Amino acid sequence: MRISTKTRYGTRFLIELACQYGKGPVYMKNIARSEGISEKYLSQILITLRSAGLVEGFRGMNGGYVLSRPPSEITAREIVSILEGGLSIIDCTQTPNSCPRQPQCSSQDIWRKIEKTISSVLESITLEQLAYQHQDKKEPKPMYHI
């Protein structure tokens, strides 16, 4: 399983919004510049995030983007699921009737177990936690010299 660029960039965008949560709208171009993401590509990702209800946009002089809910209420599972179109790692677990071998297929149990584990881990991580980690990594660490 590979996480797409769309999900990686979308998550980075949402982390930046989470860091600015409660401070007003943030310009997409500022986040694109600071994160090294193409504005054009990020605007395509924003369409998905807005239609899913994770992000709200405002026009005008004080315009920009904000999270539609507190970062503590948005999980990594929700983000990945929205941007990847689900968490299924193999088609037959998402639509079992699509495979004629489904009734006697024991490998399907493995894929379901993996999906359940991934889902559980992602559900345990909030956007708020990711924002705290991001801010912690951005802060310069003191240098001690002897």
Calpha distance 100→85 (Å, rounded): 24
Give residue 89's pLDDT band: very low, low, confident or very high (50, 70, 90). Answer: confident
> Domain span at residue 75?
5-85+126-138
The answer to whether residue 66 sits within a structural domain is: yes
How many whole angstroms from its chain centre is CA 109? 27
Residues 6+ apart with CB under 8 A from 38: 32
With CA atoms as reference, report the closest residue to 123 among 73, 59, 77, 58: 77
The answer to whether residue 108 sits within a structural domain is: no
Can you give the CATH number for the domain in which 45 is found? 1.10.10.10
Average the pLDDT over each of 1-5, 43-47, 76-80, 128-132 and give the range with the smallest value.
Answer: 1-5
- Identify how many contiguous H helices and E strands the chain contains and give both numbers: 7, 2
